[in-house]
Chains A and B, each alone.
Chain A
Amino acid sequence: MTERLKWAVIDSWTMTRRNLTLWVRVPAYIMFTVIQPLMFMLLFRYVFGGAIPIKVKGGYVNYLVPGVIGQTCAFTSFNTALALAQEIKKGSIDRLRSMPMARSAVLVGRLGADLVRLTVTIGVLIGTGYLVGFRFENGAGPAVLMILLALAIGLALACVSAFTGLAIKDEESVQAFGLIWVFPFTFVSAAFVSIASMPGWLQAFANNQPLSIFIEALRALALGGPLAQHLWQSAAWLVGILVVFGSLAARAYRRV
């Protein structure tokens, strides 16, 4: 049993490394994962930001950066579904599973690589954020905690995405489906604007959907302010999503 666990870890690491190598070698992937979130951040910082009336310490840029990080967690999860759908189409998942490797490693290695990628993106966002005026206002400990929370959010959403990729299988449909849920959840949220500025009927959704809750928690960690409620609500959502979609993804993977 320990032998099996040892190989499961090694195989997952092998798959993670392979996925990261593929990522580094395709310029379009780097573009998608690093440049796109940066563009969103700079667009809102310099183009829309001036028109968005938000009073927080340090100005709109401080409000914006945790929001863009939350949005990025959702956008990056796209790739998980796409990559899995591509591998199914190519037949490479079949080939991998005919080898004596740990079966879970395909899925774990995918999530592992996507998490490393997300870490890089968040690093770039925070670094660039600092150049355009963003500052953590709540100390180093909560700042680190914010990054960890973002990664946990990224992992949970990647599980949702993995499930859709493995269940739908067709690349184009996966992409279309991804857009359908990611856009409303990221834009009808607390990511870029105050929810109070939305019409009442929309506020009900925006206030209670998980991405808003996650972003408020990220923001509270970065900037200070009331934290406990955001944190436990986030934790509850995260556990729920991980349990439900983690097992759905595992089940869909076994059936591929």
Chain B
Amino acid sequence: MTESAILVEQLHKSFGPVEALRGIDLAVPRGTVLGVLGPNGAGKTTAVRILTTLLRPDRGRAVIEGLDVVRRAAEVRKIIGLAGQSAAIQDELTGRENLEFVGRLYHLPRDRCRRRAADLLARFELVDAGDRAAKTYSGGMARRLDLAASLVAEPAVLFLDEPTTGLDPRSRIGMWSLIRDLVAGGTTLLLTTQYLDEADELADQIVVIDHGRVIASGTSDQLKDQVGGDVLEFTVADPARRIRAAALVSALSDHDPQVDEASGLISLRIGRRGSDALVEAVRILDQEQIEVQGLATHRPSLDDVFMSLTGHSAEDLAEAR
């Protein structure tokens, strides 16, 4: 149990008739990143609010670094940081004032607040903007300041609630690299996101939440294997040789190849055999001198995973709610 920085058992929470969480279990080893993936309304934010002591669970238990979030909430607050979609940022204060203000509320001595603020502004490339009102910041800068604010007291466990929602692609990639640096420094991170590529990019372990339940969990690779792993794809332009080509490669896998007659595309799930299967395919197709184009393997995206688990793509669900 002490191995886990975050441990959650059978967490339930309802708001009136709406069951937001219906028995969530999580375990996040110290120093790792858990990506909590799910569409809007899946229960991600409710889980984060319980873990950050803002909400009491109806049933179940949540423990941060050995401290129960309900019974020892005051101690939990000292070791966690929370950053999220919009923010603790006050637009009328400067970046520096915002950080120093947070430091005061974490009860850091005044000179330490100043030093931390200066350090964080430098680290998050906000030095030039540090003494400007936060309302003049771009979306990406505001998010960086928000993230910086959550780090003022050097929390052991950090919660990021959809840290890149609404950011442009360039700012997203900037945030990702900042988050990666943080984790390299040993911080345990729980990250919620609706973006599959974000979880893929940042998380060691991923749990997929839908309707208040964990519907799948594992590493990004494990989740992808659940939908049949890698896919081998190639196109045979000559319709006469297409069936023969499909028959030849079917020996590489337990799955049956799919043939798209219109485009001539043949695809085959090959589990985790990856490059092995690719080399073998080249060899056997070449033996019979079948001409192919675009022979390659690719990993399924997390979107494929979400689709196969829920029957909807994550974006579709998010829009429907």
Q: Measuring CB to CB, which residues of chain A are less than 8 angstroms from any residue of chain B? A: 7, 10-11, 14, 18, 21-22, 25-26, 90-92, 94-101, 105
* CB-based contact A90/B54 at 8 Å: no
* Whole-angstrom distance between the Cβ of B110 and the nearest chain A Cβ: 11
When distances are taken between beta carbons in the complex, the residues of chain B under 8 Å from A90 are: 86-87
Contact of A21 among B78, B93, B104 (CB under 8 A): B93
Query: Which residues from 49 to 88 on chain B have a C-beta closer than 8 Å to any C-beta of chain A?
Result: 49, 52-54, 74, 77-78, 80, 82, 84-88
Interface of A is mostly: helix
Interface contact A95-B87, CB-CB below 8 Å: yes
Q: Find A22's partner among B82, B90, B105, B153 (CB 8 Å cutoff).
A: B90
Task: Name the one of B84, B85, B102 contacting A99, with C-beta atoms under 8 angstroms.
Answer: B102
B300-318 contacts to A (CB < 8 Å)? none
Instruction: Check B210 for interface membership: any CB of A closer than 8 A.
Output: no
Q: Name the A residues within 8 Å of B92 (CB-CB).
A: 21-22, 25-26
Q: Say how far B149's CB is from chain A's closest CB, in angstroms.
A: 8
Q: In the assembled complex, how far is the CB of residue A58 from the closest CB belonging to chain B, in whole angstroms? A: 41
The reply to whether A99 and B106 contact each other, CB–CB distance below 8 Å, is yes
In this complex, the interface size class of chain B, counting residues with CB under 8 Å from chain A, is: 20 to 34
Chain B nearest CB, measured from A236 CB (Å):
37
CB pair B105–A99 under 8 Å, yes or no, is yes
Contacts of B101 in A (CB 8 A): 14, 18
Chain A residue contacts of B80, Cβ below 8 A: 98
Shortest beta-carbon distance from A117 to chain B in Å: 15
CB–CB B105/A25 < 8 A:
no
Contact between B77 and A18 (Cβ–Cβ < 8 Å)?
no
How close is B82's CB to chain A, nearest CB, in angstroms? 4
Closest to B104 in A: A14
Convert B132-155 into 0s and 1s, putting 1 for each residue whose CB lies closer than 8 angstroms to a CB of A.
010000000000000001000100
Chain A residues closer than 8 Å to B88, beta-carbon distance = 91-92, 95-96
CA distance A21 to B97 in the complex (A): 10
CA distance A222 to B31 in the complex (A): 66
Interface centre among B49, B89, B104, B106 (most CB of A within 10 A): B104
Establish whether residues B77 and A91, one from each chain, have CB atoms under 8 Å apart when the complex forms.
Answer: no
| Chain B residues with a Cβ under 8 A of chain A | 49, 52-54, 74, 77-78, 80, 82, 84-90, 92-93, 97, 101-102, 104-107, 133, 149, 153
Contact check, B77 vs A100: say whether CB atoms are below 8 A apart.
yes
Complex CA–CA separation, A231 to B60 (angstroms): 54
Given A18-B93, A21-B93 in contact, is the A100-B74 Cβ separation under 8 Å? yes
In the assembled complex, 8 residue pairs joining A and B whose CB atoms fall closer than 8 Å, in A order, are A21-B92, A97-B53, A97-B54, A98-B80, A99-B106, A100-B74, A100-B105, A101-B105
Cα(A10)–Cα(B109), bound, Å: 12
Closest to B91 in A: A22
**B84 lies within 8 A of A91 (CB):** yes
Given contacts A18-B93, A18-B101, A22-B93, whether A100 and B82 have CB atoms under 8 Å apart is no
CA distance A91 to B52 in the complex (A): 13
A92, B105: Cβ atoms under 8 Å?
A: no
Report which of A11, A21, A91, A94 forms a contact with B105, defined as CB distance below 8 A: A11
Counting chain A CB atoms within 10 Å of each CB, the highest count among B84, B102, B105 belongs to B105
B64 to chain A, nearest CB (A): 11
Cα–Cα, bound, A94→B80 (Å): 13
Q: Which 6 A-B pairs have the closest CB atoms?
A: A95-B88, A100-B77, A101-B105, A25-B92, A98-B52, A98-B82
Rounded to whole angstroms, the CA-CA distance of A101 and B78 in the bound complex is: 9
Chain A neighbourhood of B77, CB < 8 A:
98-100
Distance, CA A105 to CA B104, complexed state (A)? 12
Task: Give complex CA distance A164, B82 in Å.
Answer: 28
Determine whether the beta carbon of B52 is less than 8 Å from that of A92.
Answer: no
Q: Is the CB of A92 within 8 A of B90?
A: yes
User: Which residues in A have their C-beta under 8 angstroms from that of B107?
Assistant: 7, 10, 100-101
B53 / chain A contacts, CB cutoff of 8 Å: 97-98
What residues of chain B lie closer than 8 Å to A98, measured between beta carbons? 52-54, 77, 80, 82
Q: Are B82 and A95 touching (Cβ within 8 A)?
A: yes
Report the bound CA distance from A22 to B89 in whole Å: 12
Q: A94-B54, A100-B77 are in contact. Are A25 and B133 (CB under 8 A)?
A: yes
B78 touches A91 (CB 8 A): no
- On chain B, the residues within 8 Å of A18 by CB distance are 90, 93, 101
Specify which of A21, A25, A98 lies most central, judged by the most chain B CB atoms within 10 Å of its CB: A98
A contact residues around B106 at 8 Å (CB): 99-101
Q: A25, A100, A105: which has the most chain B beta carbons within 10 Å?
A: A100
A100: chain B residues within 8 A (beta carbon): 74, 77-78, 105-107
Find chain B residues with CB under 8 A from A96 CB.
88, 105
